Amino acid sequence: MFKKILIANRGEIALRVIRACRELGIRTVAIHSDVDAKSLHVRYADEHVCVGPAEGGLSYRNIPNVLSSAEITGVDAIHPGYGFLAENAHFAEVCESIGITFIGPSSEHIALLSDKSKARAHMKKRGIPVLPGSEGEIHDLKEGLVIAKRLGFPVIVKASAGGGGRGMRVVWEESELLQALESSQLEAQNAFGHGGVYIERFFEDPRHIEFQVLADHYGHVVHFHERDCSIQRRYQKVLEESPSPALDDALRRKMGQAAVEAIKSVKYRNAGTVEFLLDQKGRFYFMEVNTRIQVEHPVTEMVTGIDLIKEQIRVAAGQELPYRQKDIHLTGHAIECRINAECPDKLTPSPGTVTKFHLPGGPGIRVDTAMDINGVVHPYYDSMIAKLIGYGRDRQEAMARVRRALDEFEIEGIKTSIPLHRRILDNPDFQKGPVSTRFLDRLLTLHST
């Protein structure tokens, strides 16, 4: 087992990893920018190193500074969390070359699966259902028009690299394609350093279903069942739950088997997430593999009772998975609300100093956060400040506990998305169960009229 791990991240995920390490008896090193020097993850780590100024590219994504910190403090491994360097194949490769374990998949797997057009082609060859689309990247308008007409409008233009909804444009008719291609390519180039895009058929009312997977170095692969991530805006997830109200046992088994096959087909190792779109007729299609731990991993932990961060660390240290698929069971229901520092009506960022911070509690409630009283929400980073997770014996109890916790959650000094989550939980369509990825857009439109 590792003796010391550097956490190449900040905020709640850095604190989450530190807690897992402490329970495993592993010392930790926190990195931080100059504005994060007093952050909770810095205070709770055994050691800390400043890696640069506030802007992420000069600090948390500064590979030379992060690796220098690792070498100076003598760590055995680096946990990247999510975001920043978590899906950076070059960073993982450099870690491998200098003998520091990257807690995640190999650089080869990150490179293959982070290129969505290549990943689609690979899965299609393996017989895994893939959304109809281009065979590779689109290089000009003429090529794009041929494919779009073959697929039939609407289509969606997607960046080959990256994620988080960047470089994605829905095209409803032929006249919109050129602008969509150009704007997607530009946004992808600026965000990910690669402007490649591809085209898929666009489904107007799908559900977004993902399966958490874990693979060790001995060829064992298991999934931890599904998360439903359909509540999202601009392709960014807002609320997640497990299990999905849209899946029965037969479909759950079928999708889970496809997720495991996708991971086995590339001889993947460590944690990952296989994402699917599910249409109204119960047909599912592979979208992508996220080669890291997900923001929403707590809902899976709540319904399976398995600490995914600890398992990541154990697998990276060369340990064999202690269970097989038959050992992993769904128990109860969990819902996660991403609490963001933003205006709940305009959905614009709301940075500033927190003047009051009271966490909810009681049966079935978990809050993952690195915020505390007098904490500062900086404009340089993601606006998420907490994850509120509610667990119940069934979906109804989980929803009731989350509603109660949202009412108890007090944050002052900044605006937050708490009122938005109340509207979601109070909506009759959400309460009934299956809703599509367009649910939230419709809810926000209705609220603004």
The answer to whether residue 374 scores a pLDDT higher than 90 is no
What's the whole-model pTM score? 0.93
Q: Which fold has domain 207-448?
A: D-amino Acid Aminotransferase; Chain A, domain 1 (3.30.470)
Give the phi and the psi of residue 412 in degrees, each rounded to 5: -125, 160
Architecture of the 132-201 domain = 2-Layer Sandwich (3.30)
Helix H or strand E segment including 402: helix 395-408
Alpha-carbon distance of 310 to 85, in angstroms, equals 20
Looking from the CA of 42 toward its CB, the CA atoms found within 13 Å total 15
CA-to-CA distance for 116 and 171, rounded, in angstroms? 19
Q: How far apart are CA 245 and CA 434, in angstroms?
A: 6
Written out in words, the top-level CATH class of the domain with range 4-103 is alpha beta
For 9-60, the pLDDT digits (tens) are 999 999 999 999 999 999 999 999 999 999 999 999 999 999 999 999 999 9
Please report which confidence band the pLDDT of residue 166 belongs to, taking 50, 70 and 90 as the band edges: confident
- For the chain, percent of residues with pLDDT exceeding 70: 99
Residue ranges per domain, the chain? 4-103, 132-201, 207-448
Express each pLDDT in 180-196 by its tens digit: 999 999 888 887 778 88
Is the model's pLDDT at 167 over the cut of 90? no
Active site residues: 292
Average pLDDT, the chain: 94
Please say whether the dihedral angle defined by the alpha carbons of residues 293, 299, 300 and 301, taken in this order, is positive or negative: positive
Q: Check residue 449 and give its pLDDT.
A: 57
* pLDDT level of residue 448 (50, 70, 90 thresholds): low
- Quickly count: other Cβ atoms within 10 Å of residue 135's Cβ: 10
Residue 169 CB-density burial (10 A; 0-12 exposed, 13-18 middle, 19+ buried): buried
The yes-or-no verdict on residue 228 having pLDDT over 70 is yes
CB 11 within 8 A of CB 381: yes
Q: Residue 215's closest CA among 287, 252, 286, 266?
A: 266
Confidence category of residue 160, pLDDT binned at 50, 70, 90: confident
Please determine, for residue 262, whether its predicted confidence score (pLDDT) is greater than 90: yes
Q: Which of 88-92, 194-198, 219-223 shows the lowest per-residue confidence on average (mean pLDDT)? A: 194-198
Helices (H), 274-382: 297-304, 308-316
